[in-house]
Each structure stands twice: as C-alpha cells, then as structure tokens.
Structure 1
C-alpha cells in the first residue's frame, strides 16, 4: 500500500476514534442532563452521530486491511494493473489521454489519476498495448485504444 494512503487512513481512523471515545460520550452526557430523552433532539442527534462514526470507522479499518493485502509482486509486468501509466487514444473524442491507475483514495480525474474500480479503470485492467476497449461511462460509451503502457515495475526501475 502506498505510504501516503496508509498515513491518510491512519489519521482518519485516529480522528474518528478520538471523537467516538471522547467527544461523543461527553455530548451524550450533556444531552442526558437536559432531561426527558424521548423528546431530546440533542441526545438523538449525538446517538445518530455515534452510530455513523462507528460505521465509518469500521469501513476505514476494513479498507486499511484490504489495502495491506495488496502484493505488488502479483501485479503483471506486461499488462495494465494497479500503478500502471497508460496512454490511450479515445476514438470517440479523437484525442490521446494519459491515465495512471491508483486506489480510490488517490483518484483525481483532473490529474489523470483514475481508480482501478472506476469504469475506465476496470475496463483497462489486464489489457496490453494494441488492445481496444469499450467503456460505458455516465457520459456514454467510449472506445479506448491502448497506445503505451508503463507498469508499476517499469516505473520502479
């Protein structure tokens, strides 16, 4: 897993754990002190926030575990995969585009960083130079021809 992604997730987890163990219990305690819980909006709001933070914390920990299982040695040397930089020709728009396949946490389409789980990313994974793929995006179908490929292994050399 890229170190900056690990650090970002760890910071988010730490922040949510602090909120869950320190801020929310104090907020709930203040709300309980106001009296009748059945019509206490502050109490219900704090309990809902506590449930949300707990669920989000679980999602982040699960994602951290998933990312730690990524073995870079299993990424192919001759096909598109995580970390690959790809130059494609979009026949629909008649233009050449460069993409880098990254995790969903790093994706930024304006920078050409697309997630391996995005429609374009999913359609490109496993392809080689010369392959043509049809991608169904929210803006319609696009046809991309792979012109150039630099894998994560090539970039490391």
Structure 2
C-alpha cells in the first residue's frame, strides 16, 4: 500500500505528536507495566500481565500505522493553493437548499476528519462531491439520509 495519504500541515503535525508520545511515553510505560506484572508470579492467571501485553500490542500497532502514514504523507498547505475550484484543503461554505441553512467545511485527510469542528474527509460522500466545483454551483450529494442539494457560496484557502 504505497499510495500517498493527503493531509494538511496541521494534520501531519498532530500525527507526529501522537507518534512521539507513543514512543517516548506509552511504549516505556507498557514495558514497565509488563515487567511489574511479571514480578507478581504465575503469568497464566495474571490479568495485569494480559492487559499490559494487549496494550503493548495496541501501542506497537499504532506506532507502525503512524510511521506508515507519515512516510506516505503528501502534506498540503491550503494557504499556498490558488484555485477558484474546490480542491483538497479548501474551506467551503454551502447553503443547504432544503433546510435553508448554511454550513462551512474544510476538506481534509481521513485522519483529520472531525465533523464537530467542520472538517470532512476528502473520501466522504460530501467531500468527494464538492471537489472540482466553484462558487454559485449547485451540487447534488447522495448521503445516507437521502439526497442533499448544496449551493456553494464561498471557497477559501487559509
């Protein structure tokens, strides 16, 4: 799986921070927990040991996953983009024709998506549908709850 993973500068920084914490804090702690649980004797009935080994598996798996994503990262700084079309990193304001409500989303990488903070993944139905469109265009998006019709009112790259 060598395809690149698009992410914003901020998303890349957060993954690096998480990796640093896992390597410097979580990994040594779990090794210490395993050693302590081992010192309690019989490992066959030692729930602390089992829990620590399970946590170690999770930590090591996440470290591998983060190393892979960081290695394949295609870091994009939205501030450097000059486009009148919606591309990765764009902050888009849309008007929902049915509900007559406005919403603003930034199109980001999968690991950065957080709908509570208005960040949607480029691979989500809404993210995919918005790509390539311009201000004043109407976009029909098939979502799990039906079809949404959005009018694009603003595009910015900040």
Band the TM-score falls in, shorter-chain normalisation: 0.7 to 0.9
CA distance in 2, matches of 1:147, 1:127: 11
Greater relative contact order (CA < 8 Å, ≥ 6 in sequence): 2
Question: Of 134, 146, 151, which residue of structure 1 is paired with 2:140?
Answer: 134
- What is the TM-score when the length of structure 1 is the normalising length? 0.76
Q: Structure 2-normalised TM-score?
A: 0.75
- C-alpha separation in 2, matches of 1:5 and 1:148: 23
Deviations 1:107-144 (A, max 9, x none): 44344333323332121112223433222334443111
Residue of structure 1 aligned with 2:19, choices 13, 24, 27: 13
Does the 8 Å contact 2:12/2:75 carry over to 1? no
Task: State the alpha-carbon separation in 2 of the partners of residues 90 and 48 from structure 1.
Answer: 46
- 1 or 2, which has the higher strand percentage? 2
1:92 matched to 2:98? The reply is yes
Structure 2 counterpart SS, 1:38: helix
Residue 20 of structure 1 contacts residue 54 of structure 1 at CA under 8 Å; is this kept in 2? no
Give the number of equivalent residue pairs.
151
Match of 1:38 in 2: 44
The residue aligned with 1:27 is 33
CA-based RMSD of the aligned residues comes to: 2.9
Gaps of 5+ in 1: none
